[in-house]
Structure 1
Amino acid sequence: MIRELDQFYAKKEEPNKSCLLALRTIILGQDEAVSETRKYGMPCFCYQGKMFCYLWVDKKTTEPYLLMVEGDKLEHTELEQGSRKRMKILRVNPTRDLEIERIQVILQDALDLYRKGIVKI
């Protein structure tokens, strides 16, 4: 039986499915203290139990994005704030190669907010 969390990925069409699974692997590989759960119907990644990012698919463009919970504290031009006060997103084109290094830098900067105590755990 497929875990509920895995069903999110299994139900997606290609190329989004492969893209989301690759992002999942990248996120989980950033630190041993990163875990995955499901919140609000989407994959949520936590650092020592504290939410730090989500994976989702934009309803209008149907493209995946990485939502950074403490995005307002991250200074990366690739991150979009839009009308959000706290969170920012990184849009990902599922038909192109992932910019793994860029994604890892953003994820490490986000995790550093927790590691350095800027965001309390």
Structure 2
Amino acid sequence: MNPIQEYFYRLNEPARSTLLFLRKKILESDAENITETFSFRLPFFKYKKKMLCYFNFSKKHKCYYISFYHGDRLDHPQLLQEGRKKFKILLIDLDEDLPLDVILNLIDEVKKFY
């Protein structure tokens, strides 16, 4: 098993299926240019080999989030900066429907900075 597969395998449900679904949608949104790597023990998504976003778990909020590079340039009410310089995060509530349109739109916004 590669490190990315192992990362998702270790997650409990419903986090595993939610993040796997989100992973699939992100990769499919621009299959030619978005790639996946494993850095800092986290799955990272890159656009044309430049940082785009990644998944992580917030101990403060006790939930998973997607963090957007160049988030400091994004203006969206659901994004939290919380002292980060280049990133903003979007919390993922596993008990609610995923804001898939919002996530894909934010990814498109970040891609415009490259």
Runs of 4+ residues over 4 Å off in structure 1: none
Count of aligned pairs: 113
SS of the residue corresponding to residue 113 of structure 1 reads coil
Q: Report the alpha carbon displacement of residue 96 of structure 1 after superposing the two structures with TM.
A: 1.5
Change (3 A) 1:100 1:112: same
Residue type of the alignment partner of 1:4 = P
Of Structure 1 and Structure 2, the greater strand share is in: 2
Q: Is the 8 A contact 1:30 1:108 kept in 2?
A: no
Equivalent residue runs for 1:44-63 within 5 Å:
44-63=44-63
Q: CA RMSD in A?
A: 1.1
Q: Report the alpha carbon displacement of residue 78 of structure 1 after superposing the two structures with TM.
A: 1.0
Q: TM-score, normalised by structure 2?
A: 0.92
Determine the C-alpha separation between the residues in 2 that align with 1:60 and 1:74. Answer: 22
Question: What is the percent sequence identity of the aligned residues?
Answer: 34
Q: TM-score, normalised by structure 1?
A: 0.87
Gaps of 5+ in 1: 115-121
- What residue in structure 2 maps to residue 7 of structure 1? 6
